[in-house]
Amino acid sequence: MTDDAPPVLPHRDGYPWSIFAWQTALGDRVMQAQRNQHEILTAWERWLGAVNQDLWDRWVCRFGGGVPLEG
């Protein structure tokens, strides 16, 4: 009598942990990329805020009658 069942592959103990380590490394890289994007965005927003404040100060000096109250 022959057994027609497919052969069972031997279990490799490190395989599930290597997949987990790979997924963890990939997730860490994605999170680092998002952190970098957030830092770039906040730096850009600070720059826009400074430009906006400068334009506001110039407008107040020109049309508002003098030096802005903040300085």
Angle at 12 between CA 25 and CA 28, to 5 degrees: 5
Tell me, rounded to whole angstroms, the distance of Cα 61 from its chain centroid: 39
Distance CA 33, CA 41 (A): 12
Distance CA 15, CA 22 (A): 11
Q: Is a pLDDT exceeding 70 seen at residue 69?
A: no
What pTM value is reported for the model? Answer: 0.58
Q: Is a pLDDT exceeding 90 seen at residue 1?
A: no
Ordered by start, the domain boundaries in the chain are: 34-71
Distance CA 19, CA 13 (A): 11
State pLDDT tens for residues 4-63: 766 665 556 667 778 888 899 999 999 999 999 999 999 999 999 999 999 988 888 888
Q: Can you tell me which residue has the tokens 């107040």?
A: 60
